[in-house]
Amino acid sequence: MIYLLYILSLFNQEQTEIKLVRELFRLRNEHKADSAQLYFADTVQVYMKYMRNVPKEKITDSDKQFWKNHPKNKFEMTSSQLLKVKDGTAIVTITGKEYLDGTTFKMERIEVKFNRQQKIISLRAVNLK
């Protein structure tokens, strides 16, 4: 019985984390950095490529500047999400198309890590060939 409850709790967590990622990318595609900020922990260990141990407010400012430079930017998920839970950290990995200009794209894999409070502590994107 305990094993069944454990499996059900993992399934519910998976559903929650995947919903959070989908909502995050919906807000990012609408360039709503202030709303997306709600999904981040107060300090994020890794954000994209060069930002380390940054407050979520700096991420919001960075995203706003990025979208100012790339007003047609959007991300389209193309694969199903995979969730791994390790030591209280949930990891959702997605693959998709990153459009900088709204037309041409590059394939990316994005890894989003959540803490126990379901706040993002890491978001990294890797270009795929």
CA angle 68, 73, 76 (to 5 degrees): 155
Please report the pLDDT score of residue 11 as a whole number.
53
CATH 2.70.50.30 is the classification of domain 2-127: no
| Mean pLDDT of each 10-residue bin along the chain, 129 residues long | 55 74 96 96 95 97 96 93 83 95 94 95 93
Which residues pair with residue 120 across a beta bridge? 40, 114
> Which SS3 state, helix, strand or coil, does residue 83 take?
strand
What residue ranges do the domains of the chain occupy?
2-127
Q: What is the pLDDT of residue 2?
A: 66
Neighbours of 22 (CB within 10 A): 14
Residue-level pLDDT at 24: 96
User: Given this model, what pLDDT does residue 3 score?
Assistant: 55
pLDDT at 12: 52
According to the model, what pLDDT value does residue 35 have? Answer: 96
Exposed e or buried b for every residue in 41-56, given b needs 16+ CB within 10 A?
beebbbbeeeeeebeb
